[in-house]
Amino acid sequence: MQLLKISLTISILGIFALLLISEYSEIPLQNIKDLNKDQLETKVRVQGDLISIKETPGLYLLKLKQSNALIPVVIFKEEILDLKKNSQIEVTGTLTEYNNELEILADTITQKTK
């Protein structure tokens, strides 16, 4: 009975530690040109200039440019997006592939000051 209590306590502490680590770990900032298909379905964080914004009934389609590299960013509409073309933004989201092209399904977007 004592061994069961110890095992249960250690298991709960381990789960709690994993939750804390995942909550406070930061996704590293990457260059758009370095993103590749090996990273599909992983969380990525990129920063660049917003060169286009297209609004559709269910989502926003953005194009993000960093040096000579471009990547589409998809945001599902949950609220009004207040971004301006040519502003610098940081995007965190999941790297996916659509029509043989890499894109990011955005979780968060932060507008940066130039």
Can you say whether the dihedral through the CA atoms of 25, 28, 32, 34 is positive or negative? negative
- Evaluate if residue 114 carries a pLDDT over 70: no
Task: Tell me whether residue 21 is in a domain.
Answer: no
Residue 23 has pLDDT above 80, yes or no: no
> For residues 94 and 82, which has the higher predicted lDDT (pLDDT)?
94
Least Cα distance to 69 among 30, 31, 19 occurs for 31
Say if 71 falls within a structural domain.
yes
The alpha carbon torsion through 31, 29, 77, 85 (nearest 10 deg) reads -60
* The total number of structural domains that make up the chain: 1
CATH number (domain holding residue 44): 2.40.50.140
Q: Residue 77: which pLDDT band, with cuts at 50, 70 and 90?
A: confident
With cut-offs at 50, 70 and 90, classify the pLDDT of residue 44.
very high
Cα(62)–Cα(73) distance, integer angstroms:
5
Strand partners for 48: 89
In a domain, 70, yes or no: yes
